[in-house]
Amino acid sequence: MTDSMQSPTVADGRAADRIDGGADATNLIDHPRGAAPGKPGDRSAFGFEQKTRLDDAADGKGRGGARYGRTGVIHTPHGDIRTPAFVPVGTQAAMKAVLPETLKDAGAQCMLSNAFHLYERPGQDVLDAAGGLAKFMNWNGPTFTDSGGFQVLSLGAGFKKTLAMDVTGMKSDDVIAEGKERLAFVDEDGVTFKSPLNGSLHRFSAEISMGIQHKIGADIMFAFDELTTLMNTRRYQEESVERTYRWAQRCVAEHQRLTEERVGKPYQALYGVVQGANYEDLRRHAAEQIASLDFDGVGIGGAIEKRIIGDTCAWICDAMPESRPRHVLGIAAVDDIFACVENGGDTFDCVAPARCGRNGAIFTRDGRYNVKRAQHKFDFGPLEEGCECYTCTHYSRAYVDHLLRANEYNGFTLATIHNEHFFIKLLDDIRDSIDGGYFEEFRDETLARFYRNGSRG
């Protein structure tokens, strides 16, 4: 293991104070760092401090056998994020059936919300007047917003959360999920969306996305990008990468303008997003493009074939400055998380833990199971033996099974708490294993135990 250099934004000695919390750590929701009346947000309030990096190896997927996995701290105006870390998703400034305070108790360090959905309701002006996303939902910690780029696929091709897929022999630029209507239309300047709420038309461009996200006020936001499916043709993927780069340039310019204009606000970090589907040359090219721009971090986005998800992260990290944190968008399969962490992923978000929990799918160290099976009706043990989450220390499988079958909201709450805690703790344990020098052993033991019965996820 090796200790690494510090980011210039934290090399002045403030990093130690930030890691320890500092005197203002408990009141950052009201007094975020780097905000001063009449002044633009102070960019030095955001930065990444790398701590421990995995040793390079003969089978390392980066150039020269590099393994980019590491631990560190992302410093934001509303607090610090120790990485690697899982980022729970509260799409509309809320996680269904779970309070922000409960997520904090489950170990969550930060949350991510969806800019497109918040734009639709309650509207970015409401969040701006409330003091920003964190203040609006009473979350005393860092927040993320995606750009609306995900809706290019989910509303356009209708695949929703299905990004890692096997598409052997399938190529079409007109692909759309069965039974779905195309609700997003891409052109050079931006995307026209048909609202899934009421069918009204809305327009997103690089500048519009930046304006919305600045008003939402998250600590970390993403440049507007075009998310393609793995079924798009090679020619379309090439065009899309170049379009996303042009949009990224416009996002940086508009972000800088709004930062100077919106005085008195804390600095919001902007991440560029690397696309390119499953093509190595396109991913490397897109990564070099994004690395050349003045971004604070990078989002590893797009549809990725599962078999090369680690390789894809490494291709991108080959081009990225190590001072920039890396967020892997929409990943929550246990084996994918290990592959992405080993190859440079710092933070991860996904709706799967909450969505699966509401449907009865429970994640445990011994795999994933359905609590609504008949065998659990008289099982008065916890959802997972040895788990210290609120659900497992207070309620039984039989009770959660009953609540979910009866469609009681408390069932959604209890199952979601456990699943979110599972992924939060998984990333915490991975972080400890990197710092402790036993990542490979922990990875192999964890994956063997989780998948020994053929578990999904």
Is 311 annotated to bind ligand? no
Is 128 annotated to bind ligand? no
Is 146 annotated as catalytic? yes
304 Ramachandran zone, left/alpha/beta (phi>0; psi -120 to 50): beta
Is 251 annotated to bind ligand? no
Is 149 annotated to bind ligand? yes
Is 20 annotated to bind ligand? no
Is 144 annotated to bind ligand? no
Is 3 annotated as catalytic? no
Q: What is the chain's alpha carbon radius of gyration, rounded to the nearest angstrom?
A: 21
Is 110 annotated to bind ligand? no
| Separation of alpha carbons 21 and 35, rounded Å | 18
Strands 47-53 and 143-146: unpaired
| Separation of alpha carbons 371 and 377, rounded Å | 9
**How many CB atoms are closer than 10 A to CB 392?**
23
Residues written for the chain: 457
| Separation of alpha carbons 414 and 406, rounded Å | 14
Closest listed residue to residue 345, CA positions, set 75, 82, 70, 73: 70
| Separation of alpha carbons 53 and 51, rounded Å | 7
| Separation of alpha carbons 344 and 53, rounded Å | 9
| Separation of alpha carbons 220 and 269, rounded Å | 5
Closest listed residue to residue 400, CA positions, set 388, 389, 412: 412
**Is the previous residue joined to 84 through a cis bond, with omega within 30 degrees of 0?**
yes
Is 387 annotated to bind ligand? yes
Is 340 annotated to bind ligand? no
CA distances to 45, 320, 324, 428 from 435, in Å:
25, 22, 19, 11
Strands 326-329 and 347-350: parallel
Is 275 annotated to bind ligand? yes
What is the H or E stretch that residue 338 is in?
Answer: helix 334-342
Closest listed residue to residue 325, CA positions, set 103, 143, 85: 85
Query: Which of the residues 80, 146, 336, 401 is marked catalytic?
Result: 146
b/e per residue 264-274 (b: at least 16 CB within 10 A): ebbbbbbbbbb
Which tokens sit at 83?
Answer: 């990485």
Is 389 annotated to bind ligand? yes
Angle between helices 309-319 and 280-291 (to 10 degrees): 40
Is 150 annotated to bind ligand? yes
Query: Which of the residues 80, 219, 336, 349 is marked catalytic?
Result: 349
274 neighbors 301 (Cβ within 8 angstroms) = yes
- What is the side-by-side strand order in the sheet with 2-3? 2-3, 47-53, 70-76, 79-83
Binding-site entries for Zn(2+): 387, 389, 392, 418
List residues with catalytic annotation: 146, 349
Binding residues: 146-150, 225, 275, 302, 387, 389, 392, 418
Binding residues for substrate: 146-150, 225, 275, 302
